[in-house]
């Protein structure tokens, strides 16, 4: 290695020092620029872009929060597990689960002892796939709107306490019943009628009005009048009797542990009918309104309450 020339003049040595310092400053400046470029590629250091806001079409309601609700969950009152309950004029009870086309088989049962025991009377030989509606008929008989093979709607009626069921296509043409193809539509002799929500449950059609449940709130329709919400919520099942509506609902003030039952008259007056204690509100439930009594089917229990 060559030895440094120590004989250089002081002026030359000063110029060399200045040159070295300038070179060092240039290196520092380039290093800082390089670090800034790398930082701009770091997602953690980048300024976050604005989050776009969304709204539901046709509604000013903001999107639901991810925070769990304190309200108790409502039961699955629609779908294959939906329940139907009816009583014929001489007291025979009928009940059914909805079932599903190409899916879970429906179950139709009859009780002659106020719901203590049940006989399976499902018309499997008819190729039944789904129950859309169940009604008590005269005497000890019943009738149903069902879907048979191919999911085609049919009207069935029994005159043998459910041992045999006959087809009545002329009655189906005059009937009003929930559509299978469009859950938010009611089939009527005068044409399809839109329902007030996209996924209604507990649809019940009576001689004077139709009732259903939308997100826990019951709504009724008399004739061709608009749908009218009733003044209760957390409802899990409804039935109609003339212009009155029977409901089963979650109401901790009226029934701390179970389901509260009530009648709602056509003037919106609510009359408590009792409490089904220790009933699980998370299981499908059905009610049947008959004169001055209200019958409830929840879980394995069937109980009667006097109006």
* 142-159 tens-digit pLDDT: 999 999 988 999 999 999
Parallel, antiparallel or unpaired: strands 201-205 and 93-97: unpaired
Q: Cα–Cα distance between 62 and 147 in angstroms, integer? A: 39
Half-sphere exposure of 129 (CA within 13 A, CB side): 13
Average pLDDT, the chain: 80
How many angstroms separate the Cα of 297 from the Cα of each of 94, 203, 236, 302? Answer: 11, 16, 12, 4
**CB within 8 A of 130, min separation 6: which ones?**
98, 99, 100, 101, 106, 146, 147, 151, 180
Q: What pLDDT score does 269 carry?
A: 96
Of 306, 283, 290, 244, whose CA–CA distance to 93 is shortest?
290
Kindly report the CATH number that applies to the domain delimited by 83-306: 2.120.10
Specify whether the CB–CB gap between 292 and 105 falls below 8 A.
no
Q: What's residue 65's pLDDT?
A: 31
Give the three-class secondary structure for 108.
strand
pTM of the entire structure? 0.74
pLDDT reading at 38 higher than 90: no
Please report, for the chain, the start and end positions of each structural domain, with discontinuous segments joined by +: 83-306
For residue 177, give every residue at least 6 positions away whose Cβ sits within 8 Å of its Cβ, in sequence order, or none.
132, 133, 145, 153, 186, 187, 205
Contact 216, 229 (CB under 8 A): no
In Å, what is the CA distance from 1 to each residue of 16, 20, 104? Answer: 20, 21, 94
Q: Does pLDDT of 7 surpass 50?
A: no
End-to-end C-alpha distance for the chain, whole angstroms? 114
44 or 154, higher pLDDT: 154
Out of 2-11, 242-251, 294-303, least confident range: 2-11
- Residue 292's pLDDT is 87
- Higher pLDDT: 165 or 76? It is 165
């Amino acid at each position: 290695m060559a030895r440094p020339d120590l004989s250089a003049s002081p002026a030359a040595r000063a110029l060399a020092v200045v040159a070295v310092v300038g070179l060092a400053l240039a290196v520092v400046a380039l290093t800082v620029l390089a670090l800034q470029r790398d930082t701009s590629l770091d997602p953690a250091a980048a300024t976050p872009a604005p989050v776009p806001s969304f709204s539901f079409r046709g509604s000013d309601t903001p999107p639901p929060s991810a925070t769990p609700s304190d309200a108790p969950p409502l039961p699955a009152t629609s779908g294959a597990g939906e329940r139907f309950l009816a009583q014929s004029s001489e007291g025979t009870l009928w009940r059914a689960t909805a079932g599903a086309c190409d899916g879970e088989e429906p179950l139709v049962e009859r009780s002659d002892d106020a719901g203590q025991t049940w006989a399976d009377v499902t018309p499997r030989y008819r190729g039944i796939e789904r129950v859309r509606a169940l009604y008590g008929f005269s005497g000890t008989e019943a009738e149903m709107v069902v879907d048979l093979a191919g999911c085609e709607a049919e009207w069935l009626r029994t005159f043998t306490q459910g041992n045999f069921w006959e087809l009545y296509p002329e009655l189906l043409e005059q009937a009003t019943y929930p559509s299978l193809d469009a859950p938010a539509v009611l089939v009527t002799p005068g044409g399809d009628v839109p329902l007030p929500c996209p996924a209604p449950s507990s649809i019940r059609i009576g001689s004077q009005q139709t009732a259903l449940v939308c997100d826990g709130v019951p709504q009724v329709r008399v004739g061709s009048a608009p749908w009218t919400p009733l003044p209760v919520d957390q409802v899990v099942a409804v039935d109609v009797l003339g212009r009155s509506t029977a409901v089963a609902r979650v109401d901790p003030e009226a029934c701390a542990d179970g389901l509260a039952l009530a009648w709602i008259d056509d003037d919106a007056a609510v009359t408590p009918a009792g409490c089904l204690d220790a009933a699980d509100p998370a299981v499908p439930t059905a009610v049947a309104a008959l004169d001055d009594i209200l019958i409830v089917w929840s879980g394995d229990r069937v109980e009667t309450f006097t109006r």
